Amino acid sequence: MRVFVLGASGHIGSALVPELQDAGHQVAGLARSDASAQRLEAAGVEVWRGDLGDLDVIKKAAADADGVIQLAYRRDLMHGGDVAGVVAANLSVIEAAGEALEGTGKPFVAPAGTLVLWAGGLSGRPGTEEDTVEGNPLADSENATVALAERGVRSSVIRLSPVVHSMLDTQGFTPALIGIARDKGVAGYVGDGANRWPAVHTLDAARLFRLALESAPAGSRLHGVADEGVRFRDIAEAIGRNLGVPAASVAPEDAAAHFGFLGAFAAADNPASSALTRQRLGWEPVYPGLIADLDEGHYFRP
């Protein structure tokens, strides 16, 4: 299969490219910079030059492919707390790719997040793939992707854990939490820290994207979840012992000041199950869980 990947040089994309190639697929990727283009070319990827705003390029590359995986996002907007801007950019890309693939039955796979369920008010139990959310900015991109199934696209969404961790993770939530702890001299958690975050290893996530591309039914919602829910306090304590700083409670009213752009999520209780995903696609995570990966130490090396 000829696969066009947006975000091919990014965190998950850099693991997905060899995953696809090892399975016999050809890969084309979108590159915004010369450096990204050079990395992709060195990895045997056909390069399309452009960014998420170049919708005509995205349409042409999608039409030229047998399937599309969208992993790119506006990192600058996300770290600036502009969730609406991130969503608007994602919706434009989804519509462009959907227009190119409409009526073909070709696959389109895009990420979402398990945090959409927390933002939608789910509480008291792990979220499942069958839970849906309407009228929520975090859900708009997810719902738009699923809706492409009604237009003849074999679309699927992978709700990723808020923590996708590995040596490839340099700009996600985990490095951000470590940077905050290093700067403030304390690894914080909100209240008693009993709230839970799911997690998944980058290489397990990459394999899930490949499996979805190959066989996910149209309109599927899938969960990229290995650790169903790690207590935030346990995450903070692992960061603290690896940095040599204490772990300590942060009052809820101080969360925004302490965690910055992560303040809105630091107290989220977001356990999630991937039982249906494993059953439907035969996906089983095999790489280390979050705490074991933190204690391996690679996040803390200079």
pLDDT digits (tens, 9 = 90+) for 108-138: 999 999 999 999 999 999 999 999 999 788 7
| C-alpha separations of 19 from 72, 231, 268 in Å | 17, 31, 32
DSSP category for residue 217: P
User: What's residue 127's pLDDT?
Assistant: 98
Residue 185: CB atoms within 10 A of its CB come to 11
Distance CA 236, CA 247 (A): 6
Distance CA 301, CA 243 (A): 10
What mean pLDDT is predicted for residues 54-80? 85
Round the CA-based radius of gyration of the chain to a whole number and report it: 19
Among 130-144, 208-222, 225-239, where is mean pLDDT lowest?
130-144
What mean pLDDT is predicted for residues 243-263? 96
Indicate the pLDDT class of residue 234, thresholds 50, 70 and 90: very high
Alpha helices in the chain (DSSP H): 11-22, 34-42, 55-63, 75-79, 83-101, 115-119, 137-147, 173-184, 202-215, 232-243, 255-259, 275-281, 290-296
Domains of the chain with bracketed CATH: 2-163+201-226 (3.40.50.720), 166-198+228-271+290-300 (no CATH)
Among 26-35, 37-46, 83-92, 189-198, where is mean pLDDT lowest?
83-92
User: What's residue 87's pLDDT?
Assistant: 79
Instruction: Specify the DSSP element, H or E, that contains 166.
Output: none
Indicate the pLDDT class of residue 76, thresholds 50, 70 and 90: low
* Between residues 4 and 137, the one the model is more confident about: 4
With a pLDDT cut of 90, the percent of the chain lying above it is 88
Indicate the pLDDT class of residue 74, thresholds 50, 70 and 90: low
User: What's residue 75's pLDDT?
Assistant: 62
| 262-280 residue pLDDT tens | 999 999 999 999 999 999 9
Distance CA 197, CA 39 (A): 32
Distance CA 159, CA 168 (A): 19
pTM: 0.95
